[in-house]
Structure 1
């Protein structure tokens, strides 16, 4: 069993795609990133792509697009041994991990091994749940209409994206929020629910073989508790299904029971719990 680091996203995808597609919803993040990385205009730089293999078969897959956390996925009776191999090898080649995210038990095992070998501290950034939707339920809808965000909405989307990021594990700077907003508007991937003006937003992201992710769901405080988020997500999800995707998926923060309840009412069904861990090194404050 050994760790292999891949320089070519295309070669890496060829190696791990079938392995990840066995649980496509669980691996929506890794797969979505890999499909993006294989495009000639990918905006991601210096990706870390690695796989612990046994007899040239994947056991543990790792994807990291700095400065974001390492995504891990592995299954089978050899996965714990693979974690030990991975951590030792990553440490030896000098890669520093800001954190880890993945299915709860796996991420905990990997993070524990990393802390033990590196000597850093560990913190839970967010307990998450991954959901899947194949059919939108008949839910009460708010007044208004769904539309794509345009360049005229840019400053608003920048502000909303920045506010959204403040309750996520990876806070964006205003400049980071602007880049994400500009790219989303350019790619026609950000939707606004408009009721005599913008009141809520959602974004489509990271299409995989059969599905697509809904993220960046945000409603400003002054428009909350009016059903706008429910309506926006329901409309966006239905539109994506109408476009031919077999399913939509999304991540939720388990500390936010309201959003989890909203998504389940729409038709999203829980698939697996995920967790985001952060590593605190000697030069960082807890």
Structure 2
């Protein structure tokens, strides 16, 4: 028997679900990282909810972004459980823009919701979540990792714009400029530099107790297939481990075999398939 619970208090929600999410920080890096970054002084999340099965937590649902509800890594849920959850969502949550979560459960839930609402469910992106505990490879290129600074803004703005275009998350140049400023000021954006030229970048985000996530991995087209992204991510990952994180994680687009190969060579292991589904 399942029970669907919605929460109004961020503090109460954190207390209820954090230990469940922390059982797999890497797989839950998106939901857990966003949740832990918020306080009661921030805007109230659009949705805080949990699915209970036989008095045990089975799934956490969290929404701060208008286009998607984040689903945690689930426990063993039957099709009947998913259908009952879909029914509860349709009855109590409006609007339901889409989901991001473990592929099988998310796909089944989206299919039920789309049929109940009479909408079309569209796959926006299919990704693999990777986790690393130890860097395997050694650096291959004659370069160095350095922190990105304000004077790099023009380059980084263009790279963020291109990165978002390639990952089907388009934004304007003005929005890319704002994002570049934010990431630079936050201090966790790095670049691989060869002969005083930036050739690849990566960022760290969503730190949790033992894990931190790498994102915004990008190399401009004229610098690809030279090993720069591999060295950038590898060196950056090692530095994050040296800071005290036990693991690092990242999302990789399944349609890009090159990046998936590179991450595996560094030491990243696939732990969960993730899918983004939006309703139209």
TM-score, length-scaled by structure 2: 0.91
Post-superposition shift, 1:38? Answer: 3.0
C-alpha contact (below 8 Å) 1:139/1:265 kept by paired residues: no
Say what the alpha-carbon RMSD is for the aligned residues: 2.0
C-alpha contact (below 8 Å) 1:2/1:85 kept by paired residues: no
C-alpha contact (below 8 Å) 1:4/1:50 kept by paired residues: yes
Larger displacement relative to structure 2 (76-85 or 24-33): 76-85
Residue aligning to 1:221: 221
Larger displacement relative to structure 2 (93-102 or 187-196): 93-102
Using the alignment, how far apart are the partners of 1:83 and 1:179 within structure 2?
39
Post-superposition shift, 1:74? Answer: 5.3
Larger displacement relative to structure 2 (271-280 or 234-243): 271-280
Residue aligning to 1:31: 32
Change (3 A) 1:175 1:63: farther
- 1:154 to 2:144 alignment: no
The residue correspondences of 1:104-123 to structure 2 (distance < 5 A) are: 104-123=103-122
> Where does structure 1 lack aligned partners over 5 or more consecutive residues?
281-286
C-alpha contact (below 8 Å) 2:58/2:76 kept by paired residues: no
> Where does structure 2 lack aligned partners over 5 or more consecutive residues?
none
Using the alignment, how far apart are the partners of 2:56 and 2:248 within structure 1?
29
Post-superposition shift, 1:169? Answer: 4.3
Residue aligning to 1:132: 131
- 1:209 to 2:238 alignment: no
Post-superposition shift, 1:198? Answer: 1.0
Residue aligning to 1:5: 6
Using the alignment, how far apart are the partners of 1:113 and 1:170 within structure 2?
26
SS at match of 1:264: helix
C-alpha contact (below 8 Å) 1:60/1:82 kept by paired residues: no
- 1:193 to 2:182 alignment: no
SS at match of 2:52: strand
Larger displacement relative to structure 2 (257-266 or 3-12): 3-12
Residue aligning to 2:265: 265
Change (3 A) 1:147 1:31: same
Per-residue CA distance 1:223-278 (angstroms, 9 max, x = gap): 11111100100111000000000011111011100000101111111112111112
Using the alignment, how far apart are the partners of 1:219 and 1:122 within structure 2?
32
Post-superposition shift, 1:77? Answer: 4.8
Using the alignment, how far apart are the partners of 2:178 and 2:44 within structure 1?
15
How many residue pairs align between the two structures?
278
- 1:246 to 2:216 alignment: no
C-alpha contact (below 8 Å) 1:52/1:82 kept by paired residues: no
TM-score, length-scaled by structure 1: 0.89
Post-superposition shift, 1:35? Answer: 0.7
SS at match of 2:140: coil
